[in-house]
Amino acid sequence: MNGLSISELCGLFCCPPCPSRIAAKLAFLPPEPTYAFTPELAPDSPPSQQRWNLHLTERAEFQYTQRELDNVEVTLAQSSRGNPVGIMYVRCAPDSRFTVLFSHGNAVDLGQMSSFYIGLGSRIHCNILSYDYSGYGVSGGRPSEKNLYADIDAAWHTLRTRYGASPESVILYGQSIGTVPTVDLASRHQCAAVVLHSPLASGMRVAFPQTKKTYCFDAFPNIEKVSKISSPVLVIHGTEDEVIDFSHGPALFERCPKAVEPLWVEGAGHNDIELYGQYLERLRRFIGQEIG
């Protein structure tokens, strides 16, 4: 989330407020795509039968070998808003009890995240399904709050139908802006558990830290939705987060009916929590011991 001047903020929030414009200015930074999909079958094959090959560019900075890449499957879904949604399924642990539906941060795409998914999935013994938001990677359309919700619904549907995952086997994981679709989906569907990594309470609370209430034109109102999540929730936040203030983590934690012991990473910022040893330790304990 990039900084804005007072005049720009006033332009965003003064009458008539436009939530989609707030969302676009505060959150979405799609990179130049670092990957592509090419069809494996003839282009006129039915979508349900179409298979795709993944091609990563150098900017994806893939850290593994072809052997690991062979365990990565990609496909295209279509959202309820008509946008094609790029989806990546990483088969890290075929015998795993859980699959993580991962919603990534705002300035990366699936290509850049692919190495992280392989490393994370193998360490927590979970398969991972992720997707790109509208306007990111191969996903069509433009980034917007409404598209975020439709994009994750398309990913959820793909996980349930194509990969046969039951709700009680899915862990919803959101990082930064990815906590927005994660919270929305978790407030509407039962799942095994939820992880909120560097979460935001709402758009206005990021722009105006003194904001205490949620206005009708606020974007990304996680703070108003987390109380509807009936699954166990693990909140992770760095105490020195320079993008989303640390106060957002405790504020959301206090609203979650089934929140477990949170992980406050002393000294961590917005993009380096994964480098701290307690990150993996806490995730493993959550997945291995605290999910019913």
Which of the residues 109, 132, 153, 241 is marked catalytic?
Answer: 241
34 Rama class: left (phi>0) / alpha (psi -120 to 50) / beta: alpha
Is residue 270 annotated as part of the catalytic site, yes or no?
Answer: yes
Which of the residues 176, 198, 202, 231 is marked catalytic?
Answer: 176
With H, G, I as helix, E, B as strand and everything else as coil, classify residue 113: helix
- Residues near 249 by beta carbon (within 8 Å), at least 6 away in sequence: 196, 198, 199, 235, 236, 237, 262, 264
Which of the residues 104, 197, 248, 270 is marked catalytic?
Answer: 270
| Kind plus residue range of the DSSP H or E element containing 66 | helix 66-69
Is residue 176 annotated as part of the catalytic site, yes or no?
Answer: yes
140 Rama class: left (phi>0) / alpha (psi -120 to 50) / beta: beta
Q: Token digits for 194? A: 């939820």
Q: How far is CA 26 from CA 19, 39, 139, 241, in A?
A: 10, 35, 20, 16
Cα 185 from chain centroid (whole Å): 11
Amino acid at 146: K
* Catalytic residue set: 176, 241, 270
